Structure 1
Amino acid sequence: MFQVEDKYLGDDGFGQRAHQRSWEDGSHSLDNYKRRIMAAFEFIHKLNVRFYSVSDRDLAPEGENWEETTRYLDEMVTVTCDLQRQTGVRPLYFSADLFTHPRYMNGAAGNPDAHVFAYACAQVKRSLEAAKRLGAENFVFFHPRDGYQNVLQRQMFP
């Protein structure tokens, strides 16, 4: 499956990775995410940038289940808080990624499956808690697929 972060590796889904970075092994492991965030903070700090923006899935990988996914995010928030203390860099905004996982193919907040809707709500709650721990200035509610399958939510004619 083509992952959102693959584009950062120079992968367009049809060929080999174009970017080779010393910290990146191309996996979706927690260790690789830790290397990514450390490299990102080193780069951001060298540029003297004060803010960054991130979503829960940018920060931590999806686990095999809800508990593992939550544990991954909690661990990555702790790592990121330590990096923020060292550099003074903090998030301008944080968001919940409610679109890249196939479960959200019919939206998140507007999903007709109550289980998917409940998962999305829990993911937003967990992301709000992460944003608070990180001291984010803003939280962005961004779910671009919601309403797409509903004709009433699309303007068909001018």
Structure 2
Amino acid sequence: MLFSTPLTVLLLAVTSLNDTVTEFFPSVPGTLTALKIAALSGDLKRTIDQGTNIVSQSEQLTQDESLPVAVAVISLANEVFSSLNNIVSKKWAFDQAIFGVISATPVVKLLLEALRSSTQEFGTTLTSRLDSSLQSVAPVILTNIDNAFADAIAAFS
């Protein structure tokens, strides 16, 4: 299925970011991890934007085609929630991210805002391609994801 590839790539990108955040601690070597997190965030944004482009060029899905997409989106949403919670739990580390003394909090906030915007666009585009029987469920998932982004951004504000 056309949508399975972008969703799988997104899931892998979010998981990679989450794993890297987990291993991040403020220190001189941690500065390199902070840079890796920033790079992975940029890669994730590009992946989301590419997924939006792929989905926007596709045709409307049937109900049979939409169901596996919905299941994949739920898995992806759970990983997004985990990643955002993990990022917030590491705020203290981002406060001292660069050489253990300089804050990367403003950068993290900007990255979260950019990811939120791309995620909103991807979600809206994907919803428009789902079978009408599933389009009414999608806004609930999208709202929960958006709220999680809002909470994470607020933690870094």
TM class by shorter-chain length?
0.3 to 0.5
The structure richer in strand per residue is 1
The structure richer in helix per residue is 2
